[in-house]
Structure 1
Amino acid sequence: MAETIARTGRGRRGAATPARAHRRLPFAAQSLAVAVALLWCNGALAAETQVLLLRGWFGVFSTGMDGLAAELKAKGIKTEVAGHLYWSTAVKEILKERAAGKTSALVLVGHSQGANNVIDMARSLEPHKVSVDLLVTLAPFMQNPVPANVVRAVNYFQSPGWGAPLTAEPGFHGKLSNVDVGDDWTIAHISIDKSARIHAEISRDIAALSQAKEGPQDGAANPLTAAAPQSPQKKFPPQAEAQ
């Protein structure tokens, strides 16, 4: 499903007896407790979200990707940022981790050329049956279709300006949102990666992904396939409106 969004603006425990307080657990019980703890830790590691951010051409004009990485890391989200040429190496690393049994939720975000390359990454992972839980593209200069192994895709573009709505490949059953930010005078191709509100929306999508992985509550919409969040449109300054 694709859409285009135009911007307009527990009980109490009794006290233990002295005998119970000093009683040691049998060895078998201790071993079981350790095993449960290890399984819990391994489950937590498997459930963590893995985020990769790719900069645009030469990595010169995509410093906003570094800023976003810092914001996500500060929230405890495992995040890596790299130049767009890293994409094929990243695919190999992801496949190696999956072969080792790692099942982290996968998020790919890219700006400009990096946006095209995160789509390339998703397409390269598709034959290996690796899903991309969230794919975010910021002003990709080529409108390559979104592969069918993507669960949620959000494409930010400018109309008129740089970028255009994306389409999905046949067999795509996820959610594709095309977000037009062309009416926001604060956003240009070389600044879209630095937009505070877009950073906030990406962060919210990643948080929603973690919530969806845990499972939405009864009656609640699945945030992974919900519409892209919308923030208030910034008002043009008087001099801009007069032009």
Structure 2
Amino acid sequence: MRYVLITLALLLAGGCAWADDIVTMPTANQLKGGDVDIAAYYIGLDFPDAMPQYVQYQTVYVGLTDRFELDVHRANVDKDKESTILVGSVKLLSESPTTPDLVVGCRNIGGTATTNVPAVRGKSEDRSYFLSAAKTFFFNPAAPGPPLVRVHLSVGTEDWTLFGEKRHDGIFGGLQFLFRPDLGAVIQNDGQDLITGITYMPINTGLTLKAGTFGDHWWVGLAFRRNLGQ
């Protein structure tokens, strides 16, 4: 019976206020088939005045099936260029009480340049591949559910699609916390920056409010998620 309760809790946790999508870092948080997540972000940049001061970023995540996900990321970078990249991922393994979620994917499938800066424009066109795993641990194993922590660990190839900096090269990952069904937090390292965030999701609305830090920068975001089959 305890095994069944833990399995059900893992399934229910997927609909809670994970602070998972912090613009770029791949994780094993995969949408279910029919799920659509639309989000908009503003990233305030702590760069010298001659450099970009902000990024306006929008994402659309689509669960094509329970195994396949396709995402569209659009970035409008101050004093640089606007670009759109595609991200695809496949779930290889679903989490159970004894196994992690395991996802493999590719960022920038189309090889799109995301900056006009000559030194890194060519690098920004490169595809980045990743393998991500995640496992959920309950603070009280006898009563599965929030509060809980989700541990992420990934390995990948270099990704130059944001800020003209290298990310996701080698090992990266972090921790997600769910304090209660509507309140979560995250701390991650993408190989370049330490990323923090807190998330609030009003119950039964599909809305998520997010904010945090991205290295020396800061960000805020708003997301809406819905299953088109419901």
Q: What TM-score comes out, normalization by structure 1 length?
A: 0.29
**Structure in which a larger fraction of residues adopt strand:** 2
Q: What TM-score comes out, normalization by structure 2 length?
A: 0.31
Higher Cα radius of gyration: 1
